[in-house]
Amino acid sequence: MGIRRGHQARPVEWLAEKFIFLVSLTAIVMVFLIFLFVAREALPLFFGETNTALVQKPIPTADIDKLTPAQLQKYLELTPEQFAAMDKDTLKSLMDVKQEAQDEIPEEFRHDPDANINTTEWRYLLLPHQWNHYEKPEYIWQPVGQIQKYNIIPLLVGTLKTTLIGLLFAVPLSVGAAIYVSQMARPKMREIIKPTIELLSGIPSVVVGFFALLVMATVLQKIFGYQTRLNAFVAGIALGFAVIPVIFSIAEDALTSVPRAYTQAALALGASRWQTAWQIVLPAALPGVFAASVLGFGRAIGETMIVLMVCSASVMSWSIFDSARSITTTIAAEMAEAVSGGPHYRVLFMLGSLLFAATFVSNMIAGAVIQRFKLKLEGKR
Amino acid sequence: MPKLNPPEAKTNSPGSNTLIQIESLSLHYGESKALKNISLTLGEKVVTAFIGPSGCGKSTLLRCLNRMNDLIDNVRIEGSCKIGGHDIYSPDVDVIELRKRVGMVFQKSNPFPKSIYENVAYGLHLHGSKSKPEIAAVVEQSLRSAALWDEVKDRLHASALGLSGGQQQRLCIARAIAIKPEIILMDEPASALDPLATARIEELILELKKDFTIVIVTHNMQQAARISDQTAFFYIGELIEFDSTAKIFTNPAKKQTEDYVTGRFG
């Protein structure tokens, strides 16, 4: 009889299980949908369907009947839905607008060799190009003006610069703090330090950016004496502040969960607290500490506001004391002014998918590395 | 093969030299008193067993001998504990030096998540050994002394966590003796092992007592009877009786001791 009573709870358990499964499934579906949407907007770029050449041979409006609907749609840069909703007169006036646009091109650009280039081709997106009036080939991101330049290398370099500076600043500090809090601090001290550092993560990044813009930039310039007040270095340090609580929190958990037996064994052998923490506890917690750093990397590379506020000139320079513009910053700052469906818009979505893919791949690699660390620690490799 | 024992150890008969001298030692955890006025003298190169029911303070006393209790907050210690004539609780004592002289093996085997070789070599690195051949020699010798060499010599650089429980515990013993302590404290070293592994550890202890002074906490009466020369019986923080093992197990002076060793309580 007692056994049968279990039946009553089962439908609820079944429901709960299915519900949890659905929730996790939703998360997976969401990730794929977001990627699909972002990548779809960038697709025309991959198929070479965008053309930014300034000088294009206009088709006389009178020739409208000689074009197939598909050709016409492509010529007028319309989506199939837009195209279907328009009658012939609207299409004609759009063709007139095209014609006028070509007529209005200033004389000096008409003979500019760059005016015939489709700047959204891969070689202009990725390789340096010697633009007219420039002395040597250069990487330039300049999505405004008559000839729009979409070289994404300055943005990649800017992203790497700020992210790496942020991590170089944040990882040692937060892992050090985590070691101190988990291994050395008295319980009272721990109760003060831990929540305080974790409180840092509650500060909106706009506020961190504001602080960096007004205070840190000035102070750091006084200390290091570089020329550009707002640069990748300041942005990186500010990013570091945003990343520290993330890394600290997870690294501290990882260090705390190292069995006390290891610590005791090391101390009983005559190791000091420092030696124990550094030589025994940290290596044993390495998978967790590494995972914390990877999460910090994800937070840093995705952080928008801080870099946007502190520096945003898209100069191509490896110097950390020059300005930088990250991918996220570019998307946030330019998406509002990019014409929907236009080349600029497509390139921005391409950057978005690139960021997504980079994060995805780095997480996968990190996962594999962590797995190796773990197996090695457990002696299974 | 160099001897493991420190040079000052003479060839006197076991137990003739006093090594550990505990005088009216009391220990408080905050308000509660865990050890009450313990006095005990242990000689060199003897095996002493601490027995008694759970919570009687035998492990606490063991941990007093290498000051592992320092790690716990709110511990207060009165009285004195001398090793080789020096009070180990006097302010000028270097805890690291003390722990080098007083090694410890824990209840649950706790090898580091490193290779077998690194586990044994770690203590040597800590205490400043640099030369590789010298370290390799000591590692081999320690593993031989711990009766583990033949089982691991082909996989010295494999992880220590791949060993069986009994092997891990012998590795911990090898790790402890690698830095050539005078005293080895063992806190129920075989309580988590199967009978065969336990037998090997016991053989090992009998072997090690030629070179080391051993203090062992055990819950296993037979084990205490088999391996120790002297036995101390504790009950609720007090030392009830301390005498030769033969006497404690055959003709104890106190009724409580007799009740415990015959299994009437505890």
In this predicted structure, the answer to whether residue B41 has a pLDDT above a threshold of 60 is yes
For A34-51, what is each residue's pLDDT tens digit? 999 999 988 888 887 777
What is the pLDDT of chain A when averaged over all its residues?
A: 86
Q: How many Cβ atoms sit within 10 Å of the Cβ of residue A196?
A: 10
Residues of B in contact with A275 (CB under 8 A): 126
Domain enclosing residue B78, as ranges: 18-261
Looking at this predicted complex, what is its ipTM?
0.88
Q: CB-CB: which of A261, A270, A280 is closest to B179?
A: A270
Q: Distance (Å) from the C-alpha of residue B134 to the closest C-alpha of chain A? A: 19
A266 interfacial to chain B (CB closer than 8 Å): yes
| Tokens encoding A295 | 């999460």
The verdict on A259 touching B (C-beta cutoff 8 Å) is yes
What pLDDT, in 10s, does the model give residues A167-191? 999 999 999 999 999 998 888 999 9
Q: What residue ranges do the domains of chain A occupy?
A: 153-337
Nearest to B127 among A187, A270, A378 (CB): A270
> To the nearest whole angstrom, how far is the Cα of B31 from the nearest Cα of chain A?
19
> Do the chains contact at B110 and A186, CB–CB below 8 Å?
no
Mean pLDDT on A198-223: 90
- Compute the average pLDDT of residues B97-108: 92
User: Within a domain: residue B7?
Assistant: no
> B9 pLDDT exceeds 50?
no
The answer, for B71 touching chain A at a CB cutoff of 8 Å, is yes
Of the two residues B182 and B1, the one the predictor is more confident about is B182
- The least confident of A1-10, A260-269, B115-124, B253-262 is A1-10
Contact A264 B68 (CB under 8 A): yes
Q: Test B126 with A283 for CB contact under 8 angstroms.
A: no
A356 Cα to chain B: minimum distance (Å): 36
- pTM for this one? 0.82
| CATH code of B223's domain | 3.40.50.300
- Band of the pLDDT at A101, cuts 50, 70, 90? confident
CA distance A277 to A283: 9
CA gap B134, B121 in Å, rounded: 10
Per-residue confidence band for B99, with pLDDT thresholds at 50, 70 and 90: very high
Contact B159 A187 (CB under 8 A): no
Size of interface A-B (CB pairs under 8 A): 75
B99 touches chain A (CB under 8 A): yes
Which pLDDT score is estimated for A5? 55
Answer yes or no: is B81 within a domain: yes
Nearest residue, CB atoms, B68 vs list A268, A275, A280: A268
Residue B161 to residue A378, Cβ atoms within 8 A: yes
* Residue among A188, A269, A280 with most chain B CBs within 10 A, to mutate: A269
pLDDT in tens, B213-222: 999 999 888 8
The alpha carbon of residue A261 is apart from the nearest alpha carbon of chain B, in Å, by: 6
Q: From CA A43, how far away is CA A344, in angstroms rounded? A: 13
Q: Do B108 and A270 touch (CB under 8 A)?
A: no
Which chain A residues touch B114 with a CB distance below 8 Å? 283
Residue A372 tokens, joined: 């190796």
Question: Is residue B121 domain-resident?
Answer: yes
Longest dimension (CA), chain B: 56
**Architecture field, domain A153-337:** Orthogonal Bundle (1.10)
Task: Judge: B113–A271 Cβ closer than 8 Å, yes or no.
Answer: no
Q: How does strand A141-142 pair with strand A149-150?
A: antiparallel
Average pLDDT over residues A11-26: 92
- Look at B126 and A270 and tell me if their CB atoms are within 8 Å: yes
A376 touches chain B (CB under 8 A): yes
Is residue B9, in this structure, part of any structural domain at all? no
Domain assignment present for B4: no
pLDDT of residue A350: 92
A80 touches chain B (CB under 8 A): no
Residue of A nearest to B125 (CA): A271
Say whether residue B121 is in contact with chain A using an 8 A CB cutoff. no
Examine residue B1 and state whether it is found in any structural domain, yes or no.
no
Task: Note the Cα A308 to chain centre separation in Å.
Answer: 12
Residue B196 has pLDDT above 60, yes or no: yes
Task: Mutate one of B159, B173, B182 to test the A interface: name it (highest A CB count within 10 A).
Answer: B159
Residue B96 counted as domain residue: yes
Q: Does A23 touch chain B (CB under 8 A)?
A: no
Put simply, the chain A residues between 169 and 208 with a CB less than 8 A from any chain B CB are 186-187
B30 interface with A at CB cutoff 8 Å: no
pLDDT category of residue A342 using cuts at 50, 70 and 90: confident
Q: What is the mean pLDDT of residues A316-321?
A: 83
Which residue in chain B has the smallest CA separation from A264? B68
Res A129: pLDDT: 83
Q: How confident is the model at residue B85 (pLDDT cuts 50, 70, 90)?
A: confident
> Per the structure, how many domains does chain B have?
1
